[in-house]
């Protein structure tokens, strides 16, 4: 993309309505625009990152054997009456009437609808196990929408649902989700710690939330500091391997790590004092096992091997796709702007032409642009007739992890400059070597973009 032709409405001033850094930077970098309280338009660069995050979630869900599908955003109230949640959900549910006076609602989550689909079509234990998921807009009429996309009213969420014959199988699904989520967040450059949590209106006993530590997080969290030493890394996972998934689950959930809802002071005090941490965190996902709660309510049964009908064991699993943009920025920025991790960056590399109109500089930039594009990467070429300082400030604000700077003086010596946004370190390289290095950096971060 050439910046002169892109739509990147960068703000020079700090917007007064933004209380936290991620909201401020998303507005300043021209990624979102509020349309009404807690409801946003996703401007091109914000949309691009949203898609990158979404694509990582898809890749990791499919890798775990989960099946993508899509359900409607507007649902009839009937199924929610059947489950009892039409009344229980309260004011967060946006209720709508259609022209025939039917009660409809904008989906805050989809346990009822998916259970209805499964009860209609899944009749035998032979059809199990089954996990389907969607990435779809949700609406919750939050009392205090705030912090930009962190607590929106309309937000984008991955919601998945597993259907199993036995509790044991459903617990494997739970563990499998935990493992796939760890991998998902790590690919986004995030450490998200699974913490024992409260199940809220979804119901059930077993649940973990995934929290990214950040001062601006809305949840208070209590943990043994050694949980932050755990890293998922480059493990070879067989998602059908019950023991392997259970072992990883145990590894990541045995140490004390809880949100305030489940915090237990006595247990916490068993952690050595110098390792006891109280901090704040951003919830970026949650997994649940709730047994037969919905299948009982909606009559979702299958015939077992013994010919008897039995209720399906279920769980549901959510990732806050749009909230993740805020969480990533909270975890990765400096005074000058965003620092995107390679896995989710909107463009892989910036190209800054220090002297637009100079024949050698223009030609070298065009070459770099072509070579990176041909290698399947997306560079953002700042080809505007602007001063170098302004170009650098824009690049720093929008946070591309790598920048190639091209100027007539360097070119005389046959070099361009490759700079890391994270460390600020630069090296002078021949243009072809700079291209090769950028390609190598992204070898392990290939996500289809938009
Ligand atoms: P919270 O406690 O923050 O209100 P929740 O526990 O009600 O969230 P879940 O039902 O677990 O939310 O939804 C799954 C994920 O969707 C959450 O982990 C979170 O990342 C995201 N999410 C929930 N509510 C919002 C919101 N209002 N805006 C943006 N993302 C949200
Ligand atoms: Mg939650």
Instruction: Report whether 324 contacts 284 (CB < 8 A).
Output: yes
286 lines ligand 1 (CB under 6 A): yes
Q: What is the pLDDT of residue 190?
A: 97
At 206, is the pLDDT very low, low, confident or very high (cuts 50, 70, 90)?
confident
Distances (CA, A) of 126 to 165, 294, 310: 9, 21, 13
Look at the chain and report how many structural domains it folds into.
2
151 lines ligand 1 (CB under 6 A): yes
CATH number for the domain that contains residue 430: 3.40.50.800
Instruction: Report whether 84 contacts 293 (CB < 8 A).
Output: no
On whether residue 212 sits in a domain, the answer given is yes
Average pLDDT over the chain, rounded to whole?
95
At 199, is the pLDDT very low, low, confident or very high (cuts 50, 70, 90)?
confident
On whether residue 344 sits in a domain, the answer given is no
**Mean pLDDT on 55-68:** 97
On whether residue 119 sits in a domain, the answer given is yes
Give the model confidence (pLDDT) of 319-335 as tens digits. Answer: 999 999 999 999 999 99
Is residue 434 domain-shared with residue 333, that is, in the same domain?
A: no
Residues 6+ apart with CB under 8 A from 441: 342, 402
**Mean pLDDT on 186-207:** 84
Query: Which residue, 324, 175, 199, is CA-closest to 253?
Result: 175
Is residue 329 domain-shared with residue 430, that is, in the same domain?
A: no
Tokens representing 68? 């993508």
Query: Which residue, 439, 425, 444, is CA-closest to 341?
Result: 444
Is residue 299 domain-shared with residue 417, that is, in the same domain?
A: no
The pTM assigned to this predicted structure is: 0.95
Q: What is the pLDDT of residue 214?
A: 95
On whether residue 22 sits in a domain, the answer given is yes
| Pocket mutation for ligand 1, best pick of 89, 202, 323 (most atoms within 8 Å of C-beta) | 323
Q: The tokens 């096992």 sit on which residue?
A: 289
At 277, is the pLDDT very low, low, confident or very high (cuts 50, 70, 90)?
very high
Query: Which residue, 68, 65, 73, is CA-closest to 94?
Result: 73
157 lines ligand 1 (CB under 6 A): yes
Answer with the one of 278, 311, 338 that is the final residue of a domain: 338
What is the rounded CA–CA span in Å between residue 136 and residue 72?
8
| Pocket mutation for ligand 1, best pick of 161, 282, 320 (most atoms within 8 Å of C-beta) | 320
Is residue 392 domain-shared with residue 298, that is, in the same domain?
A: no
Q: Which one of the ligands is nearest to 320 CA?
A: 1
On whether residue 343 sits in a domain, the answer given is no
Answer with the one of 270, 305, 338 that is the final residue of a domain: 338
Instruction: Report whether 314 contacts 112 (CB < 8 A).
Output: no
Task: Give backbone dihedrals phi and psi of 318, rounded to 5 degrees, phi first.
Answer: -130, 145
CATH number for the domain that contains residue 144: 3.30.930.10
Query: Which residue, 156, 208, 202, is CA-closest to 324?
Result: 156
Is residue 109 domain-shared with residue 180, that is, in the same domain?
A: yes
How many angstroms from the chain centroid is the CA of residue 342? 14
Is residue 154 domain-shared with residue 176, that is, in the same domain?
A: yes
Is residue 162 domain-shared with residue 309, that is, in the same domain?
A: yes
Give the model confidence (pLDDT) of 214-232 as tens digits. Answer: 999 999 999 999 999 999 9
Looking at the chain, the whole-number percentage of residues with pLDDT higher than 70 is 98
108 lines ligand 1 (CB under 6 A): no
Task: Give backbone dihedrals phi and psi of 238, rounded to 5 degrees, phi first.
Answer: -110, 105
Residue 157 CA, closest ligand 1 atom number: 16
Answer with the one of 338, 360, 390 that is the final residue of a domain: 338
Is residue 99 domain-shared with residue 244, that is, in the same domain?
A: yes
Is residue 207 domain-shared with residue 62, that is, in the same domain?
A: yes
Give the model confidence (pLDDT) of 117-174 as tens digits. Answer: 999 999 999 999 999 999 999 999 999 999 999 999 999 999 999 999 999 999 999 9
Residue 197 CA, closest ligand 1 atom number: 6
200 lines ligand 1 (CB under 6 A): yes
- What is the CA(222)–ligand 1 centre distance, in A? 20
173 Rama class: left (phi>0) / alpha (psi -120 to 50) / beta: alpha
What is the rounded CA–CA span in Å between residue 329 and residue 26?
9
3 state SS for the chain: CEHHHCCCCCCCCCCCCCCCHHHHHHHHCCCEEEEECCEEEECHHHHHHHHHHHHHHHHHHHHCCCEECCCCCEEECHHHHHHCHHHHCHHHCEEEECCCCCEEEECCCCHHHHHHHHHHHCCEHHHCCEEEEEEEEEECCCCCCECHHHECCEEEEEEEEEEECCHHHHHHHHHHHHHHHHHHHHHCCCCCEEEECCCHHHCCCEEEEEEEECCCCCEEEEEEHHHHHCCCCCCCCCCCCHHHHHHHHHHHHCCCEEECCCCCHHHHCCCCHHHEEEEEEEEEEEEEEEECHHHHHHCCEEECCCCCEEECEEEEEEEEHHHHHHHHHHHCEECCEECCCCCCCCCCEEEEECCCCCHHHHHHHHHHHHHHHHCCCCEEEECCCCCHHHHHHHHHHHCCCEEEEECHHHHHCCCEEEEECCCCCEEEECHHHHHHHHHHHHHHCCCCCC
- What is the CA(285)–ligand 1 centre distance, in A? 7
Nearest protein Cα to ligand 1, atom 27: 151
Omega within 30 of 0 (cis) for the link into 182: no
217 lines ligand 1 (CB under 6 A): no
On whether residue 34 sits in a domain, the answer given is yes
Is residue 53 domain-shared with residue 121, that is, in the same domain?
A: yes
Query: Which residue, 306, 406, 421, 284, is CA-closest to 357?
Result: 406
Task: Give backbone dihedrals phi and psi of 150, rounded to 5 degrees, phi first.
Answer: -65, -50
Indicate whether 447 pLDDT > 70.
no
- What is the CA(273)–ligand 1 centre distance, in A? 32
Which residues are placed with Cβ below 5 angstroms of ligand 2, an ion? 286
**Mean pLDDT on 367-375:** 97
On whether residue 85 sits in a domain, the answer given is yes
On whether residue 154 sits in a domain, the answer given is yes
Q: What is the pLDDT of residue 444?
A: 80
Q: What is the pLDDT of residue 197?
A: 87
Is residue 287 domain-shared with residue 150, that is, in the same domain?
A: yes
**Mean pLDDT on 438-443:** 95
* Torsional sign, CA 147, 151, 157, 163: positive
Is residue 323 domain-shared with residue 362, that is, in the same domain?
A: no
165 lines ligand 1 (CB under 6 A): no
CA angle 5, 398, 48 (to 5 degrees): 65
Q: What is the pLDDT of residue 92?
A: 96
Range of the domain at 423: 349-449
């Amino acid at each position: 993309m050439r910046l002169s032709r892109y739509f990147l409405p960068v703000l020079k001033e700090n917007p007064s309505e933004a209380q936290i850094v991620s909201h401020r930077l998303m507005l300043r970098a021209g990624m979102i625009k509020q349309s009404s309280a807690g409801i946003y338009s996703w401007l091109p660069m914000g949309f691009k990152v949203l898609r990158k995050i979404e694509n990582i979630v898809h890749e990791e869900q499919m890798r775990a054997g989960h099946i993508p599908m899509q359900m409607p955003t507007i649902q009839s109230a009937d199924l929610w009456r059947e489950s009892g949640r039409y009344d229980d959900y309260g004011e967060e549910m946006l209720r709508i009437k259609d022209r025939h006076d039917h009660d409809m609602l904008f989906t805050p989550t989809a346990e009822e609808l998916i259970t209805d689909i499964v009860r209609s079509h899944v009749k035998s234990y032979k059809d199990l196990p089954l996990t389907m998921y969607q990435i779809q807009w949700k609406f919750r009429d939050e009392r205090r929408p705030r912090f930009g996309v962190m607590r929106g009213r309309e937000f984008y969420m991955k919601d998945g649902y597993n259907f199993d014959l036995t509790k044991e199988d459903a617990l494997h699904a739970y563990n499998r989700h935990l493992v796939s989520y760890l991998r998902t967040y790590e690919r986004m450059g995030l450490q998200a710690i699974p913490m024992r949590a409260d199940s809220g209106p979804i119901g059930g006993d077993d649940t973990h939330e995934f929290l990214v530590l950040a001062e601006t997080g809305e949840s208070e969290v209590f943990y043994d500091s050694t949980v932050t030493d755990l890293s998922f890394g480059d493990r070879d996972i067989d998602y059908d391997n019950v023991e392997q998934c259970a072992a990883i689950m145990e590894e990541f959930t045995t140490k004390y790590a809880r949100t305030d809802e489940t915090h237990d002071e006595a247990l916490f005090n068993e952690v050595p004092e110098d390792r006891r941490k109280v901090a704040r965190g951003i919830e970026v996902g949650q997994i649940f096992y709730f047994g037969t709660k919905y299948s009982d309510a909606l009559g979702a049964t299958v015939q077992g091997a013994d010919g008897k009908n039995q209720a399906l064991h279920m769980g549901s699993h959510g990732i806050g796709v749009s909230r993740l943009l805020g969480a990533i920025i909270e975890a990765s920025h400096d005074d000058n702007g965003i620092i995107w991790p390679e896995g989710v960056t909107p463009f892989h590399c910036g190209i800054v032409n220090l002297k637009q109109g100079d024949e050698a500089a223009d030609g070298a930039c065009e070459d770099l642009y072509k070579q990176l594009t041909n290698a399947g990467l997306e560079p953002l070429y700042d080809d505007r007739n602007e001063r170098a300082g302004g170009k650098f400030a824009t690049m720093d604000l929008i946070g591309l992890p790598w920048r190639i700077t091209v100027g007539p003086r360097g070119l005389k010596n046959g070099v361009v400059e490759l700079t890391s946004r994270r460390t600020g370190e630069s090296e002078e390289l021949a243009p072809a070597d700079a291209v090769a290095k950028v390609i190598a950096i992204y070898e392990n971060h290939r996500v289809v973009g938009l």
